[in-house]
Structure formats: structure tokens, C-alpha cells
Chain A
């Protein structure tokens, strides 16, 4: 069990952001920042554990995040995480507003063929009505009409 706990502790830091921001493309950036500022990780997570038949649960330290305090509990069996849940969670409404407030975006500067990209909108120099007919935006619009 002790060895399981170490494995679990290493993983806790990585899990917390997943609870926080499950829908965002910004997730990797957010993870890095949270990890650095909150100072948790393999070395600093002093979890408390308990074990049931064949599995054990580990509770991480409460972590202050941008959205409030978060505490995560995971269940481990055979060195694998079989369950995870947030047992302390930021106030719901405040969190919703924060998620949807403007956040400085990270440009993914990778040239891609427009036809292969999964995008919702195209920004470019003013599109005229003629240009629009064969534009990608037109195709995206049509798919959602």
C-alpha cells in the first residue's frame, strides 16, 4: 500500500487541473501554471490514505487555484488509478463565470490546411459576398444550418 501511495501522490498533481477545466483547449497551459504556482507535485503532496479490500484511496492536499480551493481523492488498485473525484470544489457559479471570462489565448501557430481543421470560424481580411460562397466559413455555416 505504501508504494501505491507514492504512485498516487505523483499522479494527484496532474489530476487536479482535469477536474477544474475539463472542456478547455487551454488545459496544458493551465496545468503548467497551476503546478508551478501552487507548488504541489511528487515531492510536496502529503496525502492521507486509507485502504479497503484490494484498493486504497488517497486524498490530496487542498490546493488554492484560480477558481477556489480544490481537493482531489483518488482510488488506487494494483498501482492503477481506478477512480478519482473532487471532494472540495470551488463555488459553482463563480467558477462558471471564470471559465467563460476572457482569458489571454495561446496562439497555436501551426499552419494547417483549412479544409482539414476542425474550426468554428475563420478570421481574415473582410470577406465579400462573392468570396464567401467558396470560403471555409461558408462550409462551416452550411454544416450547421
Chain B
């Protein structure tokens, strides 16, 4: 990716009623920028008691992501995951987080017909493809719960976490607008292909900025040219939106039909020639009686 090819953007300054204006914090974690946005009382006033409360909670949220990175990093020889991969930790001594991720990975492989794979080319357990979405989802949920212990929509805080293009949002207020998520054109980052209004849920994009990229196909165990340029999936939580986006990206043309069968999710796919396709989800739209979050892990 050539940063010099990219235009420089100037976003509008915040406007509108104060409770609509988020405050943003950004840190580099796992080699990518992680933005946390919070909107609610006092977040734009550094002298308010709420500001101190929110800042503390956001710091803990970043710390939680760093702890996940330390445990699951494949770049740190002393991480728990590296030690598991080297066979240094017997299964009964693995941490709760590792066991939770293992269970989710099994579930993910099953629900994607093994198109989502947590085995690396060497055949070792590698949950990297799931950990990021899971960690960011847990981060957003944990932050929202810490900031809204009373579940009070009048004085509460909405949160959004964007980790390198994968996004989790949680809202409790009723006087705020929907978060608007733009889906980037993978061929031209100065363009958005679509926008999505969201109050609670996850948005994940799998893809490569480079056309003609090769991907690991878990079925024939080969590097094959990617059929899709990018696949974006929107769903009730980021963990599963991310898993489904990754699996669809690895598939070929049947990814659209496969995604369309998944309830409560919407997808936008861009093929290598720049053609876009979207799934409309179930024809009846949402059903208030059936809003179970699939695979919620908390």
C-alpha cells in the first residue's frame, strides 16, 4: 500500500447537540490503529467528572486489547499461543481465554464448512483470524458495560471501536443518531461504496488492497488467487461478522449465496473486476422476536 497515493482528508469539525459529538482516542495495538469513540455527557469537556470516568474506562479498554495481543501474538516467542504451538502447555493448563477462543474456532470452522480455518499451513493451531474480531467485540461490549452500569438511556454512553477497519458499535442512548459506517472501495480508498447506519453490531471487511492477491485455501491447502477483492459483512456482533467475511473471501462465486443464507447478516462483495454484489438478508428484514445474537460469547 502506497500512502502517497492516498488523498488527505479533512473531516468536518463536530457539530450539533453536544451529546451527539463523540470523543476519539487512538492507539497503535497489534500493528494497527485502534480508534475508540465515545459519545455521551461530558465527553467533550475535559473538566467534567464524566470525562475522567470515560478516559479511565477507555484506557482499560486499550489495556484489555494489549493483553489479548500479548497472549495471542504469533510474533512474541513467549506468548501463550506460541508456547501452545510449540507444545509447551498441556491443554488442561491453557488459560480461560485460550479455551474460549479454541471453542469459538471450532464453532467457526463448523459454521463455515471449514472455509474459515484455524490451522496454519504447518498444521498448527492458529486462531489469529478470529482473535482480532473477538477481542474488538469484547472491547466494545466491556467498555459499554463499564460506562453504563445502570443501563440508563438518558445519561448513558454510546461506544464505537474501529480496529484497522473492523468495527464494533454499542449504543444505549435514544437521542443520538445512528453511527454511520462507510465501506471503502478497495480499488480506490478515496471512495466509499456504501454507507451503513448502525446502533449496535459489527462490520468486518476481509480483503487485500492489492488486486490479484493470493489467499490460503484451507480445502486444497494451497495459495490460490483471490476471487474477491473485498468482502464486507455486517451483523449483530463483530466476532461472527469477521468470521463470515473471512470465510466468504476464501470462497469463490458461491460466497454470495452462502452469505445470503446466514440470518441477520448483510454483506457487500467486490470482485476482482470491481463489480459489487450485496445480499439483502432475509426478505422480512428484522424480526423483534428473533434477535438472538449468534454465538455471543459473554
Residues of A near any B CB (own CB < 8 A): 23-26, 29, 33, 66, 93, 95-96, 98-115, 117-145
- How many angstroms between the C-alpha atoms of A119 and B201 in the bound complex? 16
Partner of B174, one of A23, A130, A131: A23
Contact sample, A vs B, 15 pairs, CB 8 Å cutoff: A24-B178, A29-B285, A99-B199, A101-B288, A105-B201, A107-B266, A109-B278, A114-B191, A122-B192, A123-B205, A124-B165, A136-B184, A138-B33, A142-B11, A143-B12
Residues of B near any A CB (own CB < 8 A): 1, 3, 6-14, 21-26, 28, 31-33, 35, 37, 153, 160, 162, 164-167, 169-186, 189-201, 203-209, 230, 232, 234-237, 264-266, 268, 276, 278, 281-282, 285-286, 288, 291, 293
Q: Is the CB of B12 within 8 A of A125?
A: no
Residue in B25, B189, B232 with the greatest tally of chain A CB atoms within 10 Å = B189
A100-B174, A120-B181, A123-B165 known; A139 vs B288 contact (CB < 8 Å) = no
CB-CB under 8 A from B192, the residues of chain A are 111-114, 117, 119, 122
CB-CB under 8 A from A103, the residues of chain B are 199, 286
Q: A121-B182, A131-B6 are in contact. List 7 more A-B contacts (CB 8 A).
A: A23-B175, A99-B174, A106-B197, A107-B268, A123-B162, A123-B167, A144-B14
User: Chain A: which residue is nearest B208 at the CB level?
Assistant: A125
Q: Is the CB of A120 within 8 A of B184?
A: no
Residue in A93, A102, A133 with the greatest tally of chain B CB atoms within 10 Å = A102
CB-CB under 8 A from A117, the residues of chain B are 180, 182, 192, 195
Q: Is the CB of B1 within 8 A of A128?
A: yes
A100-B172, A124-B183 known; A131 vs B282 contact (CB < 8 Å) = no
